[in-house]
Amino acid sequence: MVVGDIATGTEVLVIGAGPGGYVAAIRAAQQGLDTTLVEKDAYGGTCLNYGCIPSKALITSANLAHEAGNAEEMGIHADPVVDMSQLRDWKDGVVDQLTGGVEKLCKANGVNLVEGTARFKDENAVRIAHGGEGQGSETIEFEHCIIATGSRVIQIPGFDFADEQVWSSRDALAADTVPDRLVVVGGGYIGMELSTTFAKLDSDVTVVEMLDDILPGYESDVARVVRKRAEDLGIDMNFGEGASGWREDDDSIIVTTETEDGEEAEYRADKVLVAVGRSPVTDTMELENAGLEADERGFLEVDDFRRTDVEHIYAVGDVVADTPMLAHVASKEGIVAAEHIAGEPVAFDSQAVPAAVFTDPEIGTVGMTEDEAEEMGFTTAVGQMPFRASGRALTTGHADGFVRIVADEDSGFILGAQIVGPEASELVAEVALAIEMGATLEDVASTIHTHPTLAEAVMEAAENALGQAIHTLNR
């Protein structure tokens, strides 16, 4: 029997239960608003289920195995064996714990949960198609709506993810075996994270990148540290080449590439991982029925409150134009949207948005680079502390990289930081807080930091910008 279309109403409808959507729904419910959250797949979205969390679990495992097997200098001799099936079970257990927690948190805060796919009927209602035969549909009318449908991996011509030899990042994270040979198309942060991870799991990795270096968007000296480490791991880098296709050859595949000049190259592999970016999911909701139109790339324009052109419809996360595709950005936007709907005096401030890349070594950035600050008219004071001068870094066996802090020379206000090295993803939080609070170089330099820690490098970089560093030469 097919259940007919029924109609219900809610004050706030949130479409998508990823880091932007579920956070928005919880905050809206905390504000006393009747809130409904619609999700078609899994609570937690791509991040918790197929991206951020499973990738970090895999990275942690690969790092542990690699370090245990390469610690002879410390007197440790081991030959670890990685059981990928057991590793996948552990990883999936972590994911299940977190996604189950999201669902419980939503329910505990009074959020109404609805499973299905939402499409706009008009600017005040959506139709929810429930999955499964005979499940029917329902209409939900709303006063306010928050679109948080996230993004999907970009598929390039000639590489169909339906083919078992072609991996998306999601496929790579679900693998229960390690390919002997892996070609990675794309040297961005996803491609480099997974390249280093599979190299540490003893895969023979080749990276193909159209540009002339890895990690576009990051400064060249930051990318250089990661590239050198990747090469030390045996990863073969090939720049200026675009992947043009692949074919089967006996029990393996041949991946073909082409340069701008038409020169072709071939790489033998067992799997090819395509990691060339992500695109927003806005083409499934029939936006036109609500009076909305995405731009040519599929993004939605929003204001400082995350409102779209239709004032009572908001958008957060990866569907938003001109903001980075980062889970923590989505969550902050979700909070802003929910609180604005509730009448709170809020706006989205992107001045101090940290970003992290979980390569080896890690990268953490926030705020402006030196060039960006000077383009904005600042006279800069820049300080840098190499990790090779950090006692704690040396005791971990990971001393590549540096901490760099950029500040306004006249006022001392900290404008940004670039960190590449051990635990950079954690260290960048101190500088993000400093920027958000309007702290100066003197504030960070005069704060006593625990010894011996990696965080001392942040203090030393601030001291270096002031010309007062003790453990590195002043500029």
- Please list the active-site residues: 451
What is the token pair recorded at 401? 């990289």
Cα(25)–Cα(16) distance, rounded to whole angstroms? 10
CA-based nearest residue to 23, from 324, 333, 308, 302: 333
Q: Could you tell me the CA-to-CA distances from 281 to 113, 194, 213, 410 in Å, in that order?
A: 21, 23, 29, 45
CA-based nearest residue to 51, from 325, 258, 238, 241: 325
Cα(266)–Cα(272) distance, rounded to whole angstroms? 12
Strand 151-153 versus strand 278-280 pairing type: antiparallel
Cα(462)–Cα(440) distance, rounded to whole angstroms? 9
Left if phi > 0, otherwise alpha if psi is -120 to 50, otherwise beta: which for 369? beta
